[in-house]
Amino acid sequence: MAAAPTPSAPTSPAPLLRIRELRKSFGAHEVLKDISLEVHAGEVVSIIGASGSGKSTFLRCINVMEMPDGGLLDFEDAHFDFAPGARGRPTPAQLRALRARIGMVFQSYNLWPHMSVLENVIEAPMRVKGVPRAEAVALAEGLLERIGLADKRGAYPSRLSGGQQQRVAIVRALAMKPRLMLFDEVTSALDPELVGEVLALMASLAKEGMTMLLVTHEIGFAREVSTRTVFFDQGRIAEDGPPREVLYRPASERLQQFLKRVLHEHVAGPTGEAP
């Protein structure tokens, strides 16, 4: 895909995304405790962890759908300081500019039901980036072609299967030509037989060099597709390393327990085999 950034070595000097000492609480509940993470262009980082460990909140802090209580975020030319009263707190305009360059895909596809597939895909490029309609349509048609749904361009989302809807949701995010994609358990709501088509699309994006952060319970997918795996435990990054290391030689007992549980739930999946 023309929009995809060229892969660059994870060792390139400046990370695409740098997060330092990020904190977030809901009331008295401290959900993210001092998270730091650097992601270089081309990296595919899978995030695993028990439910409630703060994975979704972390993704939502990256595009500031959730306002962190403290910490620093650098993404390309955006440099935010979330400390209360800090001068670096993002303005609404800066937030929109940030979100325009970071795609996000949700567990519940969240396509807009009153718009056709094509309208869903061209809406943000036209409104946010001012792309002329003809150009937006051409781009959208190319993307729909790629996922084999060109003939569904005029259909309303309710006519599509869950897997088709989720792939359109991914394409809707891609139409903004993002530099980073965030995926939050995007296959969790799907019937098992529809999971594969969505994972295949994500794998092909990863192969093209798209920088991705993905929260997933598909351990096999994480191992095959990601260049790095991060384990979240109670609001902290407990382990961080190559997927083979983290998934097959978990250092902490908590990760060992977690993996045992997840692999047990997915016995049927391609994930049960030993290293």
Ligand X SMILES: Nc1ncnc2c1ncn2[C@@H]1O[C@H](COP(=O)(O)OP(=O)(O)O)[C@@H](O)[C@H]1O
Q: Which residues here bind ligand X, judged by CB under 6 A? A: 26, 31, 49, 51-57
Answer yes or no: are the C-beta atoms of 101 and 75 closer than 8 Å.
Answer: yes
Residue 164 φ/ψ, nearest 5 degrees: -65, -45
Q: Are strands 236-241 and 228-233 parallel, antiparallel or unpaired?
A: antiparallel
147 scored as a contact of another protein (CB under 8 A): no
Count other C-beta atoms under 10 Å from residue 267's C-beta.
8
Minimum distance of another protein from residue 110's CB (angstroms): 4
Which one of residues 14, 52, 86, 127 is an interface residue with another protein (CB under 8 A)? 127
Coil vs helix vs strand at 223: helix
56 scored as a contact of Mg ion (CB under 5 A): yes
226 scored as a contact of another protein (CB under 8 A): no
Residue 52 interacts with which of Mg ion, another protein, ligand X, none, CB < 5 to 8 Å by class: ligand X
Angle between helices 117-129 and 162-174 (to 10 degrees): 20
- Among the listed ranges 8-16, 25-33, 105-113, 236-244, the one in contact with another protein (CB under 8 A) is 105-113
Residue 169 interacts with which of ligand X, Mg ion, another protein, none, CB < 5 to 8 Å by class: another protein
Length of the chain: 275
Determine the Cα–Cα distance for residues 212 and 227; give it in Å rounded to an integer: 10
x/- mask, another protein, residues 155-184, rule CB under 8 A, reads -xxx----------x--xx--x--------
Residue 188 φ/ψ, nearest 5 degrees: -70, -25
Nearer to ligand X, 69 or 208 (CB): 69
Binding footprint of Mg ion on the chain (CB under 5 A): 56
